[in-house]
Amino acid sequence: MQIFFSPKRTFLTQKSLFKKYPFESRSPALARGEVGAWGDILFSFTFFTYYKTQKMSISQLVEQLLQNMIMVEGGTLEMDDKGNGKPITKNVNDFKIAKYLITQEQWMTVMGENPSHFNSKGNEAHPVEKVSWDDVKGFITKLNISTDKNFRLPTIPQWNFASKGGIKSKDFKYAGCNNLDNVAWYYKNSNNQTQPVGGKTPNELGIYDMNGNVFEWCNDLCSNSRDGSHVICGGSWSEKFDGGSRRGSAAPHLRIDDIGFRLVYD
């Protein structure tokens, strides 16, 4: 918002900003975009400070999450069985998955703190990381109890099906196209850190960051796991990506700066 000062009047150049907020009823001159030089200058700065420092509420978070859910029509998925290396076919039912990774701001709204390594001021739209599988389950439990909704982590078939573009798949090498730079933040373009979610090209379903930025926790246990490890998918800002989406596993208590998550909604 730009404010131009003159000896007698002050003019606000982004009038539309004030149409969204109830403050206009307190100062008709401010609503018109014209305020007295000194009396209302303090009001205008107070408003702007208030506007910039507002924290997201749980209800606003839920509304945001629901608006950004992608409906994935079910179908058939062929995927590798990590247990024996043979391809298997899975039937996937309809489900809803988040368009974006959970951000640091969204995590803080529910949990009240930011565990991320890349948590500098201005990084609120970066994916939350350094959250263990156990931490994520705590986040989901608290979110569901607070809202009477049913959010959860995706299963491996759901994540893979969504990543490949579902029934709209064009068989790209990566999640959205054959050019990794277009769809992913990885070691060559990430500047050695996470980047704001949704900054690259989405895949065929309109889902962002399914390659790169951060790995994503899935709900499933890793095959033959002895320590309760869970599957992580997608790849991260530090990955080289030899080909296609990456997949690995991590202990449920592990917190590291390249693992985050996205939600599914039932």
Residue 132 pLDDT class (50, 70, 90 cuts): very high
The runs of H, that is alpha helices, within the chain are: 16-19, 28-32, 39-53, 58-67, 104-111, 133-147, 156-163, 180-183
Q: What is the dihedral of CA 120, 125, 129, 135, to 10 degrees?
A: 120
Q: How far is CA 6 from CA 3, 13, 24, 35, 99, in A?
A: 10, 14, 22, 11, 46
**Predicted TM-score (pTM) of this structure:** 0.78
Name the least confident of 132-141, 146-155, 222-231. 222-231
What is the rounded average pLDDT of the residues 199-218? 97
- Cα 75-78-80 angle, rounded to 5 deg: 145
Q: What is the pLDDT of residue 254?
A: 96
Give the pLDDT of residue 25: 35
Greatest mean pLDDT range, 112-121, 225-234, 236-245? 112-121
45-100 pLDDT, tens digit per residue, is 333 333 334 688 999 999 999 999 999 999 999 877 655 667 889 899 999 999 99
Q: Is the pLDDT of residue 33 over 60?
A: no
**In this prediction, what percent of the chain has a pLDDT beyond 70?**
77
According to the model, what pLDDT value does residue 177 have?
93
d(CA 127, CA 263): 13
Helix (H, G, I), strand (E, B) or coil at 17: helix
Q: What residues form DSSP beta bridges with 249?
A: 231
Statement: residue 2 has pLDDT above 60: no
Domain 58-265 has CATH 3.90.1580.10: yes
Strand order, beta sheet including 247-250: 247-250, 230-233, 215-221, 259-260
Q: Which of 11-15, 76-80, 199-203 holds the top average pLDDT? A: 199-203
User: Closest Cα partner for 263 from 135, 144, 102, 88?
Assistant: 102
Q: Average of pLDDT values for 192-219?
A: 97
Residues 6+ apart with CB under 8 A from 130: 115, 116, 117, 255, 256, 257, 259
Instruction: State residue 85's pLDDT score.
Output: 63
Indicate the DSSP class of residue 89.
Answer: E
| Domain boundaries, given as residue ranges, for the chain | 3-53, 58-265
Burial zone of 52 (CB within 10 Å; 0-12 exposed, 13-18 middle, 19+ buried): exposed
Ranking 53-57, 112-116, 168-172 by mean pLDDT, the lowest is 53-57
Q: Which two structure tokens, joined as six digits, stand for 167?
A: 């029934």
